[in-house]
Chains A and B, each alone.
Chain A
């Protein structure tokens, strides 16, 4: 993995690998991303914030309402520098400035875009996590996808390269698609075998299920791929979920009574302890829920009341955990639950070991 070297700026030496974030967006609304970028080699706290520039004051022509220019602000412990980068909706984060203290360093990058995706919006991001570095991607709130106009689809593409001995943690809030929404996302992670670590959480809720809107969106597609960068991009893990309203069965039928589904991928040497712990926990949790029917299922169903709904018997949260890859390099956990809170609790509990690695407790 040949990541660009950092550059000196003034009297501060930069040792971090360059993180390039490229935005390209069609459409005229915004999408939020909060990125905590944390490197163990650097000891200052610094912030980079970007905000949408008002095109009139910046003297930039709006182009049919679709070309927004972005600005940014870098704040340090003692000085503030406003930085504008307005070319082609591309933000390139240049070399990071840092100093030395005894404190662990956290760089907090807030990229503001709207909290909602409207139909036809397309967002793509690319991340490079340098060798030995750690990055955490999260969201401010759940990504809400509103109803689609015509058959246009909202799309998100995330591509990330994780260097040797590096860790990328992707812990978003769930996607919520509202009635008739259409949404597709693709996330591609290129890793170094037995060296890169990745924690990926990908989840979706059924909609505004408290108001009775359950699995009423038109289309949701989520593709996650983990490729081995040092083996010609050989696929290590490929998962694609497509939920589309169909003539044979509706999405609601296929999801039974569950309102939330989630997938967690835990991969790499830095997360080995968490992998083992989660496997044990899920096995214990599910073994309690599974039992042999006493006298054969047919006999018991004959005695059941005609209108008794067996949904009351279904476990409110089911999960399974499975290793994948050579030598069980990674582990994938799949969860289905009747409430969003129960999944937050589950994730918070299972990922509590992350606090020592990234300094935050996910899904508090």
Chain B
């Protein structure tokens, strides 16, 4: 199982996560993040917001990986991600992840059947529930899958920061390690909550994400 779990969390898995900056590009162009310190602060707020808003969806999909639950979570998350930029980022990453997982982890037939069933209905393939589902089917416990979700959020946003020239590759690695300790505290606080309690703790992030589409020239999709 470990090999599959590590492959799922490896950035080399072609899910298109590299195309998203999690509001960082917009924040830089609005001069809200311009120094490595401000980047660190931004990352911590991003992780906290991701934890409070999306971990409940990951948790629910991992503990109940049925197609019915997935559909319910997907519909609720679609109404919750009122920001069009985040919504599109979530669906594009989620559908890519589902497609890749169905092709790669062929020893789990329910991945392909669930994907096929969802393709026919009004399903958006939001990232967090799909990630939770795959983790659950790969045998990860809910704590690990939620930690995994925070990990890939940190991984992708740090990667975006290097490509936006905010920090160098070595500096990014150092930062990632420093923030990881804080991420674990965030996980402890926000893990295992029901989706009815999903909320945003950093509403500013939603505002910054939203004006990504106003950027005249941009590197990232979101």
Q: Which residues of A contact B (CB under 8 A)?
A: 221, 223, 234-244, 246-249, 253-256, 258, 261, 263, 283, 286-287, 289-293, 296-298, 300-301, 304, 310, 313-315, 318-324, 332, 334-336
Instruction: Tell me the nearest residue of chain B to A315, going by C-beta.
Output: B30
Which residues from A are CB-within-8-Å of B199? 221, 223, 240-242
Please determine whether A301 and B214 come into contact, CB atoms closer than 8 angstroms. Answer: no
Please determine whether A234 and B34 come into contact, CB atoms closer than 8 angstroms. Answer: no
Which residues from A are CB-within-8-Å of B87? 324
Please determine whether B82 and A239 come into contact, CB atoms closer than 8 angstroms. Answer: yes
Please determine whether A322 and B85 come into contact, CB atoms closer than 8 angstroms. Answer: yes
Please determine whether B34 and A248 come into contact, CB atoms closer than 8 angstroms. Answer: no
Q: Which residues of B contact A (CB under 8 A)?
A: 26, 28-32, 34-36, 38, 41, 44-45, 48, 52, 75-76, 79-80, 82-85, 87, 164-168, 182, 185-186, 189, 198-204, 206-211, 214-217
Can you give 5 A-B contacts (C-beta < 8 A)?
Answer: A238-B76, A292-B217, A297-B35, A300-B34, A335-B207
Please determine whether B83 and A242 come into contact, CB atoms closer than 8 angstroms. Answer: no
Q: A256-B204, A310-B35, A322-B82 are in contact. Are A290 and B209 (CB under 8 A)?
A: no
Please determine whether B204 and A336 come into contact, CB atoms closer than 8 angstroms. Answer: yes
Which residues from A are CB-within-8-Å of B207? 261, 318-320, 334-336
| Apart from the given pairs A238-B79, A293-B29, 19 other A-B contacts in the complex at a CB distance below 8 Å | A221-B199, A237-B79, A239-B80, A241-B201, A254-B204, A261-B203, A290-B29, A297-B34, A298-B165, A301-B36, A304-B35, A310-B34, A313-B34, A314-B32, A318-B30, A320-B83, A320-B207, A323-B84, A324-B87
**Interchain CA distance A254-B210 in the complex, whole Å:** 17
**Interchain CA distance A292-B214 in the complex, whole Å:** 12
**Interchain CA distance A298-B161 in the complex, whole Å:** 11
Which residues from A are CB-within-8-Å of B80? 235, 238-240
Which residues from A are CB-within-8-Å of B182? 248
A256 to chain B, nearest CB (A): 6
Please determine whether B82 and A310 come into contact, CB atoms closer than 8 angstroms. Answer: no
Q: A286-B211, A336-B204 are in contact. Are A298 and B167 (CB under 8 A)?
A: yes
Give me the 10 closest cross-chain CB pairs, A-B, nearest first.
A320-B210, A240-B199, A235-B79, A296-B165, A242-B199, A320-B211, A313-B31, A322-B84, A290-B29, A334-B207
